[in-house]
Amino acid sequence: MICEMCGKEAASTHRIEVEGSVLRVCESCRHFGTLLDPLIAPAAPAPMARSPGRAGTSGPPPTGRRRTEERDVFTEIPEMELAADWGRRIRQAREARNWTPEELGKRLNEKKSLVLKLESGSFRPPDSTIRKVETLLRIRLRAEPAPAT
Ligand SMILES: [Zn+2]
């Protein structure tokens, strides 16, 4: 295999991301980007702040999609499929109205701490709360149904 960075023949290559594009590079070139192969742990400490500015923001981190197995904790079983960024949608809608988390909590009849948990995506509320939030903020938190083919 040929390293796409230095052009040398390499016994094995690694996939790295450099400024948004994926390259297959040799062992000695892999530290020029972010290693994508999840199986290989980077030997050297991650070279942070190598590129000026934050070019490689590839979407939000995959949080909030954790399916809880302890379903009997809730009296109501959550059935709605939420959008991946539902927490962020709440925060953006709240900020668009210039409401503090406290104020949103008051309108939802919930605590401020719950609002913050919702916005960080760390707490998946029961569907009744989802409906309340959607109605109050006039947003949709549910995932769009898959388009028919
Ligand atoms: Zn190389």
- For the chain, residues with pLDDT lower than 50 are 40, 68-74
Q: What is the pLDDT of residue 148?
A: 64
Q: What is the pLDDT of residue 107?
A: 96
Residues 119, 113: Cα–Cα separation, whole Å: 10
Q: Which tokens hold the place of 49?
A: 């702040």
CA of 50 to the centre of ligand 1 (A): 17
CA of 27 to the centre of ligand 1 (A): 7
CA of 51 to the centre of ligand 1 (A): 18
CA of 37 to the centre of ligand 1 (A): 16
Cα–Cα distances (Å) from 85 to 82, 123, 142, in that order, read: 8, 13, 10
CA of 11 to the centre of ligand 1 (A): 11
One-letter identity of residue 81:
E
Q: What is the pLDDT of residue 69?
A: 47
- Strand, coil or helix: 52: coil
pTM for the model = 0.46
SS3 content of the chain, % helix, strand, coil (to 5): 30, 10, 55
Q: What is the pLDDT of residue 19?
A: 87
Which distant-in-sequence residues (6+ apart) come within 8 Å of 75 by Cβ? 126
CA of 54 to the centre of ligand 1 (A): 24
CA of 33 to the centre of ligand 1 (A): 12
Total Cβ atoms within 10 A of residue 89: 19
CA of 13 to the centre of ligand 1 (A): 9
Q: What is the pLDDT of residue 102?
A: 96
Q: What is the pLDDT of residue 4?
A: 93
Domains annotated on the chain, with CATH: 1-53 (no CATH), 71-137 (1.10.260.40)
Residues 16, 84: Cα–Cα separation, whole Å: 25
